[in-house]
Structure 1
Amino acid sequence: MAQKAGRYKGRPIEYSINSTDPQKHLVFKTVVDMLKQGIPVAEIAKKKNGISRPTIYKMKKANDL
């Protein structure tokens, strides 16, 4: 009922183009650029401490990369 009425929106995505936190927005842009360059997900996860492989896969899937 609430979702149909538009009151339920769910949890906002932490790392996205619409992120309100400038640091997380920067991390998002960096990871997307690295994915576009063809750098493997595991290597990105090692370089970017604090971001797990599943999070990077979610970012990759959301951006059709």
Structure 2
Amino acid sequence: MKASNFPWELVLTVAMRQFGWPPYHVWQMTPREVLMATATSLSASKTPSRNELDALAARFPDMRSTHDR
């Protein structure tokens, strides 16, 4: 990945705001280490599309339990 394409703003936001890492901690890591450490948080921040929600609803339909009566 070219340095100009690296999502620095997003990665630094996640690292400092969500993880509470100080800037010096982030800058001691390589870009690959930062991405690996923040990968779950970065992907979790994506809002699913309507189609993705519909697919999940079809795959995991709501089921009535005996407590719903």
| Shorter-normalised TM range | 0.3 to 0.5
Greater radius of gyration (CA): 2
* TM-score (structure 1 length as normaliser): 0.34
Q: Which has the larger helix fraction?
A: 2
Structure with bigger RCO (C-alpha 8 Å, 6+ apart): 2
* TM-score (structure 2 length as normaliser): 0.32
